[in-house]
Each structure stands twice: as C-alpha cells, then as structure tokens.
Structure 1
Amino acid sequence: MWQKQKLTQFEGSLFQQLTHLIEHYIEQGILIAGEKLPSERELAKMLQINRSTVVHALELLTERSILLRRRGSGTYVNNKKWGVQTYSSINWRLPAHFYRDKKSFYQQKVAQVRAQQVHICDLANGDLPTNLIPKLQLPDTSLNELIMHEKNSDALQLGLPSLKAQIATYMQTQFSMQVDINEILITSGTQQSLFLITQGLLKPGDAVGIESPSYFYSLPLFQAAGLRLYGIECDNEGITLESLANCVQQHQIKWLFLNPIFQNPMGFVMSNKRKQAIVAFCRSQCIGIVEDDAYSSLAFKPNLPVLPIKKWDQHNQVIYLGSLSKYIGGNIRIGWMVAPRNIIKNLSNIRQHIDSGLSILPQLLAQEYLQHHHTVHQQQLRQTLQIKAEQLMHWLDCYFGGEITYQPPLGGFHLYAHLPVKTVAQELAVLNKLLSKGVTVSQGADFGDNLGTIRLSYGHFEQQIISKI
C-alpha cells in the first residue's frame, strides 16, 4: 500500500504524487473515514522519501480538511465534509464506479427494501407523495404553438414571460412583495439554481456558511465546485448570530446559504427579528445570502413568521430561490430565482452555454397551477400533511415508549428526532429493526449532524402499514 512504486502512477513532484496517492486511496475506499494514517516517520521510511516531503503533503491535505491532524494522536481521514475543499476538475483516471452515488451501508439497505417491498412506510423519502400531486392539464395550446415556443427558446432564456408574471403575482399574494419580472429567472428547480450560483458567483476554495445540520450538506454540487462548507449552529429561531459571527471571523465566509422556513431537516421557522438581524450583519460584512424557500406555503397554523428573508433586503444582497416541487411533484421541474438583473442575465448566459435551455411544457403546467389551482390545493395539502404529522408523532410516542424526543412540526415536510441511543451500534440496531418492519428514515449524519438523530418525512406516513408493526 505504501510502496515507492505506487507514487509513479501520478504526475508532479514527490509531494504532489503522495497527495494524489492518499486522495486515490480515500476515493477507492482503501482509506476509510476516520482511519489513522501511519506516522510521518513511518510513511517516509516505507515510501523511501524525505520526511519533509511527507509533512508537506499531509499539511496540504489537512489545510483542505481532507485529513485531520490531532496533536499527540496522529493523522486521520476526515469523517465529515465540514470545511473540506475538493478540486473542481474531473479526475479522468478514476474508474466509472467512482461517479456513482456513494451511499452509506444503511442507505444501501434502504434502497434494497424499496426495490424488494411494495408496501413500505418510506419516511426517508422527502418528495411529495404521488397521491398528493394535483391533476393538471395543459391550457388550450396547439402543437404548432408549442413548437414555435421551443424554436424561440433562445429569446426566452430567462423563462416564459407569462409564467414570470404569474410568479410575481403569487409572491405579491403570499408575501406582499413587489417583484420586478425582469429580476426573475425561471429554472428547472432549486438544484439548477444552486448549480448556477456555485458556477457563476463563487470560485474554488471559497468558504460557504450553511445551517448545521442542513440538507445543503448532503448535496454534492458544493464539493464538485471546490467550495468549503462550514456549519453554523442553530436554535429554535434559526442560525444564531454568535455562531455566525464566529464562523465569519474564522473562515472568511463569502456566502450564506439558508433554508429559513420549515428548515430541512430540523423544521424550525426563523423569526422575523432574526431574519432582519442576519440581513444587517451580512451587509456589514459584505456577505451575500442565498435563501431557499421550498415550504413556506405549508404552515399548519396561521401567524407563523413565514415571510422570506428577501422581504427585508434593501440592498440587493439576497438571492431568493422558489420552487414548486413540494407542491406539484419533482417530475415537473420548475423553480425560480429572484436576484438583481445583472446577476440574472449572467447566470442565464452560463446556463445557455452549458444547457439547452428550458422546456416550455413544465413552464405551462406551472403557470396553470399558479393561476388556477394553488390556493385550494395548498390548503388541502396543509391539512393532509398536518394529519400525517400528528399520526406520526402518536406512533413514535407509542413505539419508543416516550424515550424519543422531538419538536412537533409547525409545517413543511419533516420531523427531526433524537433517538435514545449512545453508540453507533445502538443506532444501527434501532434503524435495522425499523427497516425490518418496512420503515425507512434518514440519518442525521446525512445532513452533517451527530449520532442519534433522524429525519422523518411524514408525507409518506401510512397508518395502514404502520398499524401492522
């Protein structure tokens, strides 16, 4: 494993070859998360190179947080993604299987259960259940009209004007916000919006702050862009200003990515006071904010502070991301971005160069939903999700005998819970027992959290299935 000839398969100086070798071993699973490396002296001896060369390579990988060096203990493979910077270029030497999804052992077992069993309680699935998707019909549009729209896709690279006008009306109705349609970019969903932002407004090595835990942590696009993720502690009102200030001071955060309304996975709603304080602090530090709003129309009770952070943005420092995937399903991929015109134009140009643009059909369906269906459907969706959330809480209390702890959901899709476990083995025993009964969950580790936390997406809670457990 640590023979000198292993270095020769890589290009560059000796320290670069050693850096690539260690990364290669991590990528192939030869070195696993948390594993201890041989000492500097041992590596130098086995590889027949100078110790200073080993130190140089280890320090570089430690600086990128791929390795962790503990004084008096040794050097370890980082078992978390916090602070890790990867290179944004593709390593063409890697075998094809490296580009497949890297699932944990538990995630692999969940995939097997989904493939083998028809009737399961899939609480790990964060998508809208198919039986809650509204039935939409295309407006009276001829095939020739659709073809003409597609032919004019270059002229419509910011999105269908009629859909943008409908989105502006929707945001006025929902949030009493005046939005200029020229500051709206239609996207194929939040993931495309985030990809465009990471490619157009950030560069490899930039530090990005996110809530801890957060679903942003689970997205590979940040690491693919070579960005460093840093977690910011939260309370019941969102990220704390103290933790944000400490993170900015230590890591020179360039952008803040937040999911403030029914946050995924924790479910909190950021208070209006906290939103205003964060906007003021970020302005003082010249930090941009990307706000992902996927759930704000799914409040279980009135008078919750579901207004977006963008509402308090007076200086064009907040980019707002909206999406309909949690309302009309993920197959109709439509979202939107609200940002200054120059940013909208630049990001649309990036998309035009790397993508074929937007299809007209999803845009017409989204327009139909916003124009004729959203009010009634969202009310029905809120009622259904609230019932399922209450059923889930009742089952959790009965199944765990009151030993599981959680905050009752205020809305959205998710309940975040703490299991009565103290070790990895105890956690896996609980999860495997649930899995054997056809119940899947998402581990908190998927979102950058610690042992014993799970996310349950109650939209997929099925009383008939769970009653048999």
Structure 2
Amino acid sequence: MTVAESVPVHSPVPPLAGRARAVGGSPVRDILAVTARPEVINFAGGLPAPELFDAEGIADSYRAVLAEQPARALQYSTTEGDPALRAALAARTTARGLPTGPDDLLVTTGSQQALSLLATALLEPGDTVLVENPCYLAALQAFGFAGARVVPVPGDEHGLDPEALEELVVRERPKLLYTVPTFQNPTGRTLPADRRAAVAAVAARRGLWIVEDDPYGELRYEGERLPWIASRPGAEDRTILLGSFSKVMAPGLRLGWLRAPSELRRACAVAKQAADLHTPTVNQLAAARYLADHDLDAHVRRVAGVYRARRDALLAGLAGALPEGSVWDRPEGGMFLWARLPEPYDTTALLPRVVRHDVAYVPGAPFYAGRPDRRTLRLCFVTQTPEEIGEGLRRLGEGLREGAAED
C-alpha cells in the first residue's frame, strides 16, 4: 500500500442550513464582548442591575424547595410548566386586568424561547411578519431563523401607527404583528391607550395574530399603567401575551411564559417538547416558592425607585453630552432611552472612537428591519449609579466630539 492510498480522502462536510448562514449574531452581544473591561462605563447592555437582585430571598426559596421536595425539584417535569407556578402567574395576570387560568399559560425558558416556539408554530418560510420600527433585536433574529419576511410598520415618537398597520395588513397579508407596547426595547416608548385599542381592532377586522411582549411593563416610574392589548375587545382570541421574570426577579432563572389561545398554546407545547422537554423544574419550583413567601411587587417597587433615579440622572446630563440638535425620548419606565443625533452623525462609525474613552452605547442601525436611521443610538441606564452615569456622559460627550472632529 502506498502512502497516498493510506491517507483517507476528505470530502467537504455538508454546509450549514441556509437560515444559519443568513442570520447573523447579536451586535449588542458583540459590543458587550468588546467592552467587557471593568473601566468601561457601559450603556450598551440590556442587563438588570445585579446588586438589586433579591439574592437572599431567591436562595431561601431554593433551599426550601431542595429541603422539602428534592426528588420533585430534581426530576423531569411536565412540558406545560409546574402547576403551582402557573397558578401563581395566572393570579398575577388576572389581578392586572386579564382573566387568566393556569391552563392558559405555558412556561418557557425565558420569553426569548416563547418567540422561537411561536415562530415554529406559526411561520412557514416566506411568511410575512410585521414589526415595530425599530424593533427588539432578538425578535428579528427569531423571525429570521424561521425564514420569515420581516416588514416594519411606520410609526412616530409614540409607537406604531395603526392606520399604517392596517394598510400593511391589507397589502402584505402577514401572519402576525410583533410588538413591545410598554417601555419598548430599544426606544423606551409606550404605545398610548387609543392606539392599543386601534391595533386590537385592526387584528379583529383583518385576521392577524398579535404577539404582545411585556418584559418591562412592571418597571413603571411615573404615569398610569395601560391595559394590555390582549385585554382589548376583539383581541382576546388572537393575542399571545409574553411575560418574563428576567427584569423583575433575575434573568439567570431563565423563566418566561406565554398566554395564548388553546390551539396555538398546544402547538407551542409540542414545539417545546422537541426543543428542551421542559423548563428546569428546580427553577420553576423556586420561583413559585418565592412568589408564595415573598412580596415580589414590593421588590419591584424598590427596584423601580432606584432605576428612576438613574433614568433622571441620564436625562439631566444628555444635553451636555450629545451634540446640539440631538433629540431623545423621556421613557416613563423600563430600561432604555433612545436618542437621535443630527446629520451627518453615524453612530455605528463613531462607536470605536467613543469606546477609546471607556464608554459604550448600542448604535441604532441593527434594530431596524428596513432602512436604518444611522443617527440613532440606545442607552441603557439601569446598571450604573447616578455618579457613574454622569461620568459616562462626560466620556460620551468627549468621544462624540473627538469622533466628529476626526471626520
């Protein structure tokens, strides 16, 4: 046998699926990796403040569950979710104005999984999805992996325009509308009550699923709480409401849920069986125990009070940091503020120069499904103290001025 005969011939391995090649990673996570140095004041993340986690209360709940029912906590569970947790979630949802029973809910591994399950259950490749413009980035990724055609709905400083929505529904025949109507990511905007009613009416008239994502709604600092779109007349049988503990308890628990009409909920449960069988049992039991033994609402009020002071610090310093002619929103809650610089600023091009000053933001361009506004940027204000925010804005102003001078 010759040497050539003894060496196996290596043919190329089959390629990745087209959806894996077509959908990129998260620019936000890429920025966080680049700016992970401790000296960087990072307005780029979407992370809740870790020092505000009720770590002891959560630890108490885990200890109680593992001491009292270790076999159940460490065993497989039902796909739909732990009954005690679903009962507690149903009670909280009902108390907020949307009558809900435990069987209306499916527990998911974070609300991000709920998006993936809905994409699997509802979307065929080539189906059209309508989104806000700009839109939560990971939703764009989930719909992109499903092979959907994503179309942005025009809007203004108050959110999407219901008249433009109806025109697009008639023209594009979409499967669903995805919206974060309260303290939206990335803009921090809240859709007014009249527009919520109008969106529900469009869905009822035209035959449309609404996916209403609400991870930030409990983090309200001022103003009155607005009813969910899911509670509006005409939307009852066509709205999927998504919730999460990530921003109000802890994201590491990876606990979310969806509330959906029965047929769609069952389809999502089947998709979840294929994905992960069920969300970790011990996490579900610990969360249910926490809700039983602790006052989550009081904890959220404490967190919101701290976040409000941080939002106010950001608002107080923006005028001195951003170039003249910039505009920004005043969020009533949530975690994010959206700003638009004047022409000819390009926040993507400027970011590497700003990072040299040990401060970071997220450029707005990746959040757009259509043509991006390259003057925009997102600032997360909840993970820094007011003093750190002031210093971060000083650095941001220096970086923007230096970057503009280099251009």
What TM-score results when the alignment is normalised by the length of structure 1?
A: 0.73
Structure 2 counterparts to residues 54-453 of structure 1, below 5 A? 92=15, 102=25, 111-114=33-36, 117-135=37-55, 136=58, 137-138=60-61, 140-142=64-66, 145-153=69-77, 156-173=78-95, 175-216=96-137, 219-305=140-226, 307-314=227-234, 315-371=236-292, 372-400=294-322, 402-424=324-346, 427-428=347-348, 430-448=350-368, 449-453=372-376
Cα distance 1:200–1:375, how it changes in 2: closer, same or farther (>3 A)? same
Q: Distance in 2 between matches of 1:363 and 1:217?
A: 24
Secondary structure of 1:331's match? helix
On the 8 A contact 1:238/1:268 being kept in 2, the answer is: yes
C-alpha spacing 1:330/1:406, structure 2 compared with 1 (3 Å) = same
Task: State the alpha-carbon separation in 1 of the partners of residues 260 and 16 from structure 2.
Answer: 39
- Highest CA radius of gyration, 1 or 2? 1
- SS of 1:186's equivalent in the other structure is strand
Contact 1:407/1:417 (8 A) holds in 2: yes
Measure, in 2, the Cα distance between the counterparts of 1:107 and 1:339. 30
CA distance in 1, matches of 2:122, 2:230: 18
Question: Which structure is richer in relative contact order (CA contacts within 8 A, separation 6 or more)?
Answer: 2
2 CA distance for matches of 1:189 and 1:93?
26
Q: Distance in 2 between matches of 1:351 and 1:109?
A: 31
Deviation at 1:249, TM superposition (A): 2.7
Distance 2:66 2:315 in 1: 49
- Distance in 1, matches of 2:379 and 2:237, equals 36
Q: 1:452 to 1:324 in 2, by over 3 A?
A: same
RMSD of aligned C-alpha atoms?
Answer: 2.7
Distance 1:341 1:397, change over 3 A: same
Look up the match of 2:379.
456
Are residues 370 and 148 of structure 1, via their aligned partners in 2, closer, same or farther at CA, if it must alter by over 3 Å? closer
Asked if 2 retains the 8 angstrom alpha-carbon contact of 1:215 and 1:265, the reply is yes
Residue aligned with 1:220, SS:
helix
User: Partners in 2 of 1:438 and 1:462 — Cα distance?
Assistant: 16
CA pair 149-231 structure 1, distance change in 2 beyond 3 A: same
Distance 2:271 2:21 in 1: 27
Please give the alpha-carbon distance, in whole angstroms, between the structure 1 residues aligned to 2:239 and 2:73: 31
Aligned partners of 2:384, 2:351: CA distance in 1, in Å?
A: 16
1:118 maps to a residue whose letter is P
Displacement of 1:288 after TM fit? Answer: 0.8
* In structure 2, C-alpha distance between the alignment counterparts of 1:268 and 1:301, rounded to whole Å: 13
Q: CA deviation at 1:403?
A: 3.7
SS in 2 for 1:459: coil
Letter matched to residue 180 of structure 1: G
| CA-CA distance at 1:91 after TM superposition | 7.0
The one-letter amino acid of 2:352's match is N
1:284 to partner: Cα distance = 1.0
Unaligned 5+ runs, structure 1: 1-89
Which deviates more, 456-465 or 156-165? 456-465
Q: Could you list the runs of 5+ residues in structure 2 that have no partner in the other structure?
A: 1-12, 396-407
Measured against aligned partners, the alpha-carbon deviations of 1:216-250 in whole angstroms (never above 9, x if no partner) come to 47642211111010000122432112211222233
Distance in 1 separating the partners of 2:252 and 2:275:
21
> Normalising by structure 2, what TM-score?
0.83
The CA distance in 1 between the partners of 2:382 and 2:277, in whole Å, is 34
Instruction: Note if contact 1:209-1:229 (Cα within 8 Å) is conserved in structure 2.
Output: yes
Once the two structures are TM-superposed, the CA of residue 404 in structure 1 deviates from its matched residue by 2.5
How far apart in 1 are the matches of 2:286 and 2:73? 14
Q: Check conservation: 1:184, 1:339, Cα contact below 8 A.
A: yes
Tell me if the contact between 1:210 and 1:216 (Cα under 8 Å) persists in the aligned partners. Answer: no
The superposition leaves residues 293-331 of structure 1 with CA deviations (integer Å, 9 ceiling, x where unpaired) of 0111111114242x2111115541101111111112321
Alpha-carbon separation, structure 2, partners of 1:347 and 1:313: 24
* Partner Cα separation in structure 2 for residue 369 and residue 440 of structure 1: 35
Q: Give the SS at the match of 2:61.
A: coil
SS in 2 for 1:322: strand
What is the CA-CA distance between 1:434 and the residue it aligns to? 2.7
C-alpha distance in structure 2 between counterparts of 1:186 and 1:94, whole Å: 29
Report SS of the residue matched to 2:302. helix
- Once the two structures are superposed, residues 46-81 of structure 1 have per-residue CA deviations (whole angstroms, 9 ceiling, x without a partner) of xxxxxxxxxxxxxxxxxxxxxxxxxxxxxxxxxxxx
Question: How far off is 1:180 after superposition?
Answer: 1.5
Matched residue count: 370
Name the CA distance, whole Å, in 2 between partners of 1:447 and 1:430: 17
Q: Is the 8 A contact 1:415 1:455 kept in 2?
A: yes
